[in-house]
Amino acid sequence: MRPLDDAPLRGGILIIGSLLWDPNGARVAWRAARLAPQGKRSVAAPVYYGRRSRSRGNTFTMTFDTSGSSGAAVVVPLASYAAQPQDVVSDAGALWKAEHPTAAADSLGAEWGCAASLFRPGVPNAWLEDWCRAFRARAPRPVSLVDDRGILQIEWPTPTDGRDLSFDFLLATATQGECTRPTPEVVADAWVDQDQGHEKYFFENVRNGIRTADDQMIWARMLERRPPWLARSAYATAQQMLASELKTGA
């Protein structure tokens, strides 16, 4: 149903990585202040491990996929409805600050990534226009898969439970992938060849339902190379999930 021009809009955050589970204080505070976690939903989304992160020991983090291969992400409702277009920009700013804590207060992007939005058809044009103006002023160099209006160039996510995703808009962070798409083996080797705990990113994503089509191949490479951290009890749940999927062909 098309919302009235002055009706508040319901928004959510489309999360494809550590924003959902990272215990960092700034992210914990953001989740507590801005999100309603009891309403989180699993959705299909085109994601892959495609960006090397210096802050994670040059291991790979997730980004949206230009090839459209399907994975799974999580949508978490915003705690408050957007009463006016500026509220969407405010929520996007808070999202970007949680993603990039050292960013300027009015920023929505950096060279390596930016906040982005998706609007459901029928949202009044005034909301889209306000978002576009703010994005162009605060994130002038969008990354791939985000156009110059700040719109994420993917389809509206499909819930895995088949029920409608009843949001008027979604916000997400999009990061710039590598020029050459890394193979699952290259992604796994980046984790295997470090001992600073950065493999947690993969296992926590699996445990929290943030998945890529390459997860089984990544895990198989880890099993082949047998790094010492593979035996850590903290990763047992995620590995049990991966093993169960392998047995059932999921």
237 phi/psi in degrees, rounded to 5: -60, -45
pLDDT of residue 224: 97
- Domains of the chain, residue spans: 11-175, 184-248
The whole-number mean pLDDT for each consecutive block of 10 residues of the chain, a chain of 250 residues, reads 70 97 95 96 96 95 87 97 97 97 93 96 95 95 92 94 92 95 97 97 98 97 97 97 84
pLDDT of residue 250: 61
pLDDT of residue 2: 46
